[in-house]
Amino acid sequence: MKIADLQQRMEEMVHWLATYGADPEGGVTRLLYTSSWTEAQQALEQKMRESGLETYYDEVGNLYGRLTSANPEAGTILTGSHVDTVKCGGKYDGAFGILAGLLALRYLKETYGPPMRNIEVVSLCEEEGSRFPLTFWGSTNITGTAPVNKITQIQDAGEIPFMEAMKEAGFGLGYYRNPRREDILSFIELHIEQGAILEREKIPIGIVEQIVGQKRYTIECIGEANHAGTTPMVWRKDALRGSSQMILSIMESADRIGAPLVATVGKIEMEPNVSNVIPGKATFTLDIRHPQGDVLDAFCAEAIESCYAIARNRGLQVKVEKHMDARPVEMDESLISRVKEICRHQDLPYKLMPSGAGHDAQIMAPHHPTSLIFVPSHRGISHNPAEYTSKEDLTAGVQVLIELLYQLGYEGGEINEIQRTQYVNPNDHDSWSG
């Protein structure tokens, strides 16, 4: 397969997979265990078989395509990403990592035959948390960290229980193998950046050093609803005014600390939300991310303290609820060096960077040496039908992946022993993804 063929095939495959769950608006919606999800997995299975791979599912619906080594006990190099999308998402998020893996395995098989270690591509069943209030369902089942107790209690917006949806799609019935994997030597995920840095700097490859830590809160500010005409300013307990001051104070300190810290208030709700009544209650969300755990902790502690101080000054009550507390996750250092070397060798400019978004790689990394590689996203747009990456950039990613899989799978490239770190499942708190 020549580079021009790879480019053309990559682009065709992105458009092909996007027909499963295609929206009238031009986006893609493939929610876990829905019919478009099932059709996409079945079509991928077919494509994997046509590419000469052995295919199988596990009990939760992760789909694998396998290139078996002459010594099947040799362990497995795994690559891939997630097949599910957000509502009206783009064609590349998740899909690119699966298709790149599929193309790379096909290329390696055609060119070099059976590998020294098993190499597999995985189409992970779920990452986004878009149908059920649960994220990383595919990868947490592989690592044995899935919150299995929780799934009996959750349902989608149409009140369909999780277990029912899973069984309806043919999984969770005991037909397939246990999802837990003990044979994985390394996990490699290719993904679009979903940010604008690589495109702005005209760099085709991003090598992720760590995935940022995230904390999410809901902050409820309680004052007193009262008449907008008869209550003098000094007597008011205006919940919105207090909340506004809290938000501004947090944003100003985020500006002071600067990149890579990001702080977002994405949702505000007010009660009674009436034009001639002083707001009695205001509730806002807070999402804070940073690649260093200590910086994140210190910033959040200070932000929350400032909310309490403002509330005290204004005679308001404040309730802070933490929903998510995901620690930053480091990618494997020796794989980072290897990918840097490959980029130099292939004359591809690269950038070492953190990932501001969550990825399956963060679930795998505490268990298996993991590499996360980015390609540029046009204008940084993602989770949107306008998501776009040029075929040249996609193919640069595939070329790096091919070489990395070759070194690890055919040459027996050295792989680190994982240092087990304290694993914190982001789903331990009621979380949502993105």
Interface residues with Zn ion (CB under 5 A) are 93-94
Strands 63-67 and 277-278 turn out to be unpaired
Instruction: Answer for the pair 80, 124: CB distance below 8 angstroms, yes or no.
Output: yes
* Cβ proximity to Zn ion, 21 vs 94, nearer residue: 94
As measured in angstroms, the least distance from the Cβ of 270 to Zn ion is: 33
* Cβ proximity to Zn ion, 80 vs 291, nearer residue: 80
C-alpha span between 297 and 288 (Å, rounded): 10
Contacts of 107 (CB under 8 A, 6+ apart): 1, 6, 402
207 φ, ψ (degrees, to nearest 5): -105, 115
Q: At what angle do helices 391-409 and 3-17 cross, to 10 degrees?
A: 110
As measured in angstroms, the least distance from the Cβ of 2 to Zn ion is: 29
Q: How many CA atoms lie within 13 Å of 370's alpha carbon, on the beta-carbon side?
A: 26
- And the tokens for 420? 């087990």
As measured in angstroms, the least distance from the Cβ of 4 to Zn ion is: 28
- Helix ranges (DSSP H) in 206-358: 239-257, 293-314, 333-345
As measured in angstroms, the least distance from the Cβ of 331 to Zn ion is: 16
As measured in angstroms, the least distance from the Cβ of 129 to Zn ion is: 11
* Cβ proximity to Zn ion, 93 vs 193, nearer residue: 93
Q: What is the DSSP letter of 332?
A: P
* Cβ proximity to Zn ion, 296 vs 357, nearer residue: 357
The distance of Cα 253 from the centroid of its chain, to the nearest Å, equals 27
First to last CA, the chain: 35
Q: Which residue has the tokens 């950039």?
A: 393
- And the tokens for 109? 């098989």
Instruction: Answer for the pair 344, 162: CB distance below 8 angstroms, yes or no.
Output: no
As measured in angstroms, the least distance from the Cβ of 427 to Zn ion is: 16
As measured in angstroms, the least distance from the Cβ of 431 to Zn ion is: 15
C-alpha span between 242 and 246 (Å, rounded): 6
The distance of Cα 121 from the centroid of its chain, to the nearest Å, equals 17
As measured in angstroms, the least distance from the Cβ of 254 to Zn ion is: 25
Say how many C-beta atoms besides its own lie within 10 A of residue 198's C-beta: 24
- Residue-by-residue DSSP string for 159-199: --BHHHHHHHTT-SSS-SB-S--S-EEEEEEEEE-SSSHHH
C-alpha span between 319 and 210 (Å, rounded): 32
* Cβ proximity to Zn ion, 138 vs 172, nearer residue: 138
As measured in angstroms, the least distance from the Cβ of 175 to Zn ion is: 28
As measured in angstroms, the least distance from the Cβ of 127 to Zn ion is: 6
As measured in angstroms, the least distance from the Cβ of 95 to Zn ion is: 9
Q: How many CA atoms lie within 13 Å of 376's alpha carbon, on the beta-carbon side?
A: 20
C-alpha span between 38 and 30 (Å, rounded): 9
* Cβ proximity to Zn ion, 243 vs 377, nearer residue: 377
Q: Which residue has the tokens 């331990």?
A: 428
* Cβ proximity to Zn ion, 270 vs 401, nearer residue: 401
Q: What is the DSSP letter of 287?
A: E
Largest CA-CA distance found in the chain, in angstroms, rounded = 84
CA 291-293-295 angle, to 5 degrees, is 85
